[in-house]
A and B are shown apart, each in its own frame.
Chain A
Amino acid sequence: MKLTMTSSLALLMSAGMALAGGHCAAGKTLNDDVLTIATGNPAYYPWVMDDAPESKAGFEAAVAYAVANRMGFEDAQVAWVRSSFDQAIQPGAKDFDFNLQQFSITPEREEIVDFSAPYYSAAMAVVTRQPVVDGGAEATLASLKGLLWGAHASTTAVPMLAEIVQPDRDPLLYGDNADVVEAMKANQIDAALMDLPTALFTAAVLMDDGVVLGQFPPERSENPDQFGLLMEEGNPLKECVDAAIADLAADGTLAAIEAEWLAEATGVPVID
């Protein structure tokens, strides 16, 4: 872990120094010469390690610093704040320049806030417990339909359940992933749908007998789940952020960060 952290740090530092000159964001940020970035409270593995985005460890922390560096901000010029999903979408002035906590880009959300170009395309995955697998659950739609489902209520897992899985019984919905896990432990639900990196973490760390049964590839749903940086509607910073993300995608930096922090995501069976 220590090794990978230092290597990513070196990667980001070099990117930052090379491009410190071009300052597209000048005068467009909340506070001059400071880029204020918001993330969840708490922020979870593998998006942010140990709830400490300043460490640059974790996929979203790394992306945030990469974007900041590409926009011309030094690491020291990045300030972190915390926000909930509701705070992020409520109307009015924001206390962040951009906010990243696995916000899926949807046309309806786009009417209220601005999203950057996507920095990650997430597959949705099925988390369940070993006893449910032993009971005959398989990674096929027919088998999944019969399960009792749960999900985090404010994620795109909810419409995806309704559209693709179409379970026989109404799913139970919870306020956050910790509650979903608790309900699964209490055997109140058989399975839960969440994005793949979160699913891997949940099954491996939060549960004793957790299993990632399978994943739906991003193209499976009508609107593949793409994560974007959330900004206040009409934020002039958007073009700078988009340019930075396009740059990072073009030169392979995004893919490198993804490989570093989300490598386990490959190797989970695909549901068809």
Chain B
Amino acid sequence: MTQTEIDSPDAKRPGLTRRQIYEAQVRRRSMAIAAGSTAAVLLALVVLIPLAPGWEGVKKSFFNADVFARTFPGLLEAFLLDVAIFAWSAPLIFLLGLCIALCRDARSPALYPLRLFGTLYTDIFRGVPVILVIYLIGFGIPGLGLPRPWNSPYIWGTVALVLTYAAYVAEVLRSGIESIHHSQRAAAASLGLGHSDTMRFVILPQAIRRVVPANMNLFVALQKDVALLSFIGPVEIFRQAGVYKSLLANFTPYVGAALIFLAVTVPATRYADYLMNKQARARS
């Protein structure tokens, strides 16, 4: 307060220190530079790209308004299938991931086989590309001769997605569980809680909350990988775009599909970022 009064001749607004005024100037200047350089890059892109010799061809093949208008409604409809697959896969992934994470955290020597299973599981399913798991499970298991509807590609494609993503989620949850300080377990034990109660009421509530942002990232990735189910039959947005592409010999439907994906994944990613920042602030 007293400082403000001493420095007030330079201040444009009362109540600001010279330091604050200087920092506001620096902020304004860096914002102006950022806006200027962004505008320059955009301008360069807009002016330079159309100068490329192949631009007319690319425009016709990738940014064809006519094709876009014809195919977009069909793409949107196909996207509903992606959303549905995501909706029924996500809870299953979380549950299986939690089970695997708990397996890996088993501390009693008698439960060592569980630990071993958890380790092997995450090693295998994190190490094999999703598309291979989908192919092998999606065609392999129904090939054993299961009757309909139990051989449906929807079922076994979902199983493949769940198995793969559960391995990632398990690792994230395990890191959350391990990040909870040992004193919490000691405190719970001193209150008379058993091992499973400690896990259920003390460790997991904190651990799961701590890894929400990391899991959000995984679920954004899952939303995109749902499209891989198209390889074993379901006509979701990626396959539908491929059909349009073949019929019209035009890649614009892929651009349309990408826009639809972005409309869903960008808000989800922003939200994950927001959560992560909030957590970082709360910790510091």
Q: A: which residues have CB within 8 A of B?
A: 85-86, 89-92, 106, 108-109, 111-113, 150, 153-156, 158-159, 170-175, 179, 182-183, 185-189, 233
Contacts and interface: CB of A to CB of B under 8 A. Distances in A.
A167 to B, nearest CB: 12
Given A85-B246, A90-B251, A174 B139 contact: no
A183 B231 contact: no
Contacts of A186: 139, 142-143, 151
A173 B143 contact: no
A165 to B, nearest CB: 16
Contacts of B62: 91
A181 B58 CA distance: 35
Interface in B130-189: 139, 142-143, 145-148, 151-153
Given A92-B54, A183-B153, A188 B250 contact: no
B61 interface: yes
A154 B245 contact: yes
Interface residues of B, number: 32
Contacts of B235: 153, 170-173
> Which of A91, A111, A112, A186 is most buried by chain B, counting CB atoms within 10 A of its CB?
A186
B243 A90 contact: no
Interface of B: 54, 57-58, 60-62, 139, 142-143, 145-148, 151-153, 230-235, 239, 242-243, 245-251
A189 B233 contact: yes
B233 A108 contact: no
B232 A183 contact: yes
11 contacts: A91-B61, A91-B62, A109-B249, A112-B60, A112-B61, A112-B249, A158-B246, A179-B232, A183-B139, A186-B143, A187-B145
Nearest to A180: B233
A221 B142 CA distance: 34
